[in-house]
Amino acid sequence: MKRLLPLLLALALPVAASAADYAVQPAQSRLGFSSSFQGQSFDGSFGKWTAAISYDAANLAASKFDVTVDVASAKTGDSDRDGALPGSDFFDAAKFPQAHFVTTGFRQNGAQVIADGNLTLRGVTKPVSLNVSFKPSGGGATLDVDGTLKRLDFGVGGGEYADTSVIGADVKVKAHLVLAAK
């Protein structure tokens, strides 16, 4: 039995070191954003995106988010704004069709979990931190993330649109993902 115990522990360690993988349920999930234009706030969302989610609240070091967004799928409900967002002044979807966020690590800040990562948008990569709320439920979970980024850091709405009194400097990113265990 003494010889069997180390073998059992060695076999159990790789299992304990990995996070659970989840499949996003797109029909119940939303990847959104909000900002302001001429002092009025507006909300938008992306219709096309994919997310690879591995998460274990007890083992954040093994967790990972990898999200790719089709920026041309942005919709706000305003036809003028929706027509301008994919253009060269904003997302420049013809040249940079995707935004990509991948975590570099997770950390605790009191009771709050923070996902640190890199966001690449318009060919610019910058660090971004997102608040994470993960709630297991039956054979899946819900994952809510939110954070704020500066649009001009990524060249979104630069040039004649750089005036932050007209178009807000801050863009709030918010996602609600319904997940099923893989």
Q: What is the pLDDT of residues 114-160, one digit of tens each?
A: 999 999 999 999 999 999 999 999 889 999 999 999 999 999 998 88
Residue 167: CB atoms within 10 A of its CB come to: 19
Give CA–CA dist 182/155, Å, rounded: 37
pLDDT at 6 over 50: no
Query: Across residues 59-74, what is the average pLDDT?
Result: 98
pLDDT at 15 over 50: no
Task: Supply the pLDDT for residue 159.
Answer: 85
Task: Supply the pLDDT for residue 119.
Answer: 98
pLDDT digits (tens, 9 = 90+) for 68-100: 999 999 999 999 999 999 999 999 999 999 999
How do the domains of the chain map onto residue ranges? 19-181
Task: Supply the pLDDT for residue 103.
Answer: 98
List beta partners, residue 70: 98
pLDDT at 12 over 50: no
Q: Which CATH superfamily is domain 19-181 in?
A: Lipid/polyisoprenoid-binding, YceI-like (2.40.128.110)
Residue type, position 156, single letter: V
Least Cα distance to 106 among 151, 61, 166 occurs for 61
Helix/strand/coil (H/E/C) assignment for every residue in the chain: CCCHHHHHHHHHHHHHHCCEEEEECHHHCEEEEEEEECCEEEEEEECCEEEEEEECCCCHHHCEEEEEEEHHHEECCCHHHHHHCCCCCCCCCCCCCEEEEEEEEEEEECCEEEEEEEEEECCEEEEEEEEEEEEEECCEEEEEEEEEEEHHHHCCCCHHHCCCCCECCEEEEEEEEEEEEC
pLDDT at 16 over 60: no
Task: Supply the pLDDT for residue 158.
Answer: 85
pTM given for the model: 0.88
